[in-house]
Structure 1
Amino acid sequence: MERWPESSYRVGISGWRYAPWRKVYYPEGLPQRAELEYASRRLNSIELNGSFYSLQRPSSYQRWYDQTPDGFVFSVKGPRFVTHMKKLVDVAAPMANFFASGVLALGNKFGPVLWQLPPNLGYNADRCAAFFASLPRTTAEAAEVAKGHDERMEGRALLECLVDIPLRHAIEVRHSSYESKEFIALCREYDIALVCADTAGKWPMFGDVTSDFAYVRLHGAEELYVSGYDDDALDHWARKIRAWHRGGKPVYIYFDNDVKVRAPFDAEALARRLKITSA
């Protein structure tokens, strides 16, 4: 049976279903339903981003689990309803809906949850602290949170914890007011990974490791979501990632420069630099 070897590095892409990738990254004739299977044999992690836009279904998460090898890990992007619409306030029901939507079907392939804040949401210590304190820290705790779902999840909720494992959280911020020692200390206090996001200079980039893992999102070197990473840039990021790992911390890295089909190729090139072998 195919299996990814153990690695402290998780390198992948943010999403996998992009029409321009067909016949460029995905081989000609590969059915759309087989794209995840193909990508998950070449990269050892993928960031699920459909969960950001809408609540998925247990059957989808189960299918994604079944299509990927043992040892593969998904990061899951938290819903924008929590981050962009509710702005982290009064989110008990939407959080319950998210954890009831089927994400627990990922079992031991359930990696970190990414919370991406909008550019117009400035730093408020009380708001951040209350949100951080509400986050479940194991999948068993997430199952308990899921029981608080509202009526829209009736008949489509998954409330069973298939395997009880630690649940990590990462936060990506996009407002300059977060560039403070106070916020970094708050992330450390609540064991939240502060995302190092390369956004071609558009939004702040942090290099502080605030949890027992590091989380990196590479959106484009010169142009957001478009430009790729040349050999020098990939060497630079490989050195930074190795440095973060020297303290024994795993590092999750996702390429989001998908517009010109650079993300999967850049991810594979970085994986080779980090000596990640294939499944």
Structure 2
Amino acid sequence: MKPSTQKLVAGTAGWSIPRAVGDTFVGDGTHLERYARILQCAEINSSFYRPHAFKVYERWAAQTPATFRFAVKLPRIITHDQRLRRARAPLERFLSEVAGLGKKLGALLIQLPPSLDYDARTARTFFNLLRERHAGPVVCEPRHATWFDVNAEQLMVKYRVARAAADPAVVPQAKFAGGSTAQIVYYRLHGSPRMYWSKYSSAQLRSWRSEISERKSKVATWFIFDNTASGSAIENALELYQLAYRKR
């Protein structure tokens, strides 16, 4: 199936394959190898908790097709412990590790803690530090209401940082993609009403599909399902993929 002009890609946080959908991911190989034969992207969240060596990322890249892409979450020491300050050393270490993905590094994900409010100087300094070292797509998922104003929006546009469309949304605006859409559009879907557990309905998936069709984006639109606790994430990703690319 050939991607549409909207370049929708669907995947999950991680690449676990629940038993319920095991028959869809046939063949030999690791979970990642089987997963990547069907879906086009995955989000690496384990990097938030612990570092992975260059060779680990290199091995993951080698297990996937040429068109497969990974998003990688920034370490908690940068976003949560140091709250975007004094980030040079841990950021450079992280970037040296994820370089193992090569061309399969699709995006960097900055998930901010709910308690981190918007401070223009801190945000500007960090985004500038990051952009001096990384030119590829960057996605930010802020979770404090102060990030959803015009000043924060303009700063993200300036530094080519996409703001993730998130569900559940911390404020009404958070459910829509924002910031810069020059390199990527990114939906991060945690499950609702019960985070990490609830499965999205077919009606909701169709609504998102229509939403991106109307947007007519020229860049890739990622849908990452994080409702992994019940195994719903991969079912939702598969259904959205089928909605996007099935023959009409």
Length-normalised TM-score, structure 2 = 0.89
Task: Note if contact 1:214-1:251 (Cα within 8 Å) is conserved in structure 2.
Answer: yes
Aligned residues: 242
Aligned to 2:125: 130
1:51 matched to 2:41? The reply is: no
- The one-letter amino acid of 1:123's match is Y
Task: Note if contact 2:177-2:186 (Cα within 8 Å) is conserved in structure 1.
Answer: no
Which of 201, 208, 219 in structure 2 is aligned with 1:230?
Answer: 201
Secondary structure (helix, strand or coil) at the match of 2:227 reads coil
- Deviation for aligned residue 1:206: 4.2
Q: Root-mean-square deviation (CA), in Å?
A: 2.5
Q: Distance in 1 between matches of 2:237 and 2:79?
A: 27
- The one-letter amino acid of 1:186's match is L
Percent identity, aligned pairs only, is 31
Aligned to 1:113: 108
1:97-151 Cα deviation digits (max 9, x unpaired): 10122x11211111110000001111111111111111136xxx45xxxxxxxxx
- Deviation for aligned residue 1:220: 0.9
Report the CA distance shift for 1:12/1:38 in structure 2 as closer, same or farther (over 3 A). Answer: same
Q: Distance in 2 between matches of 1:219 and 1:131?
A: 26
- Deviation for aligned residue 1:193: 0.1
Which of 12, 21, 24 in structure 1 is aligned with 2:20?
Answer: 24
Report the CA distance shift for 1:53/1:32 in structure 2 as closer, same or farther (over 3 A). Answer: farther
Secondary structure (helix, strand or coil) at the match of 2:188 reads strand
User: What stretches of structure 2 of length at least 5 have no aligned partner?
Assistant: none
Aligned to 1:163: none
Aligned to 1:273: 243
Which of 78, 84, 97 in structure 2 is aligned with 1:82?
Answer: 78
Length-normalised TM-score, structure 1 = 0.80
Task: Note if contact 1:6-1:71 (Cα within 8 Å) is conserved in structure 2.
Answer: no
Aligned to 1:155: none
Secondary structure (helix, strand or coil) at the match of 1:13 reads strand
Aligned to 2:13: 14
1:48-70 Cα deviation digits (max 9, x unpaired): 11111111012211111111111
Report the CA distance shift for 1:32/1:182 in structure 2 as closer, same or farther (over 3 A). Answer: farther
Which of 54, 69, 74 in structure 2 is aligned with 1:73?
Answer: 69
Q: Distance in 1 between matches of 2:13 and 2:42?
A: 6
Aligned to 1:97: 93
> Following superposition, which runs of at least 4 residues in structure 1 exceed 6 angstroms of deviation?
30-33
Report the CA distance shift for 1:61/1:6 in structure 2 as closer, same or farther (over 3 A). Answer: farther
User: What stretches of structure 1 of length at least 5 have no aligned partner?
Assistant: 143-165
Q: Distance in 2 between matches of 1:276 and 1:219?
A: 25
Secondary structure (helix, strand or coil) at the match of 2:131 reads coil
Q: Which moved more, 1:217-226 or 1:108-117?
A: 217-226
- The one-letter amino acid of 2:64's match is T
Q: Distance in 1 between matches of 2:48 and 2:139?
A: 14
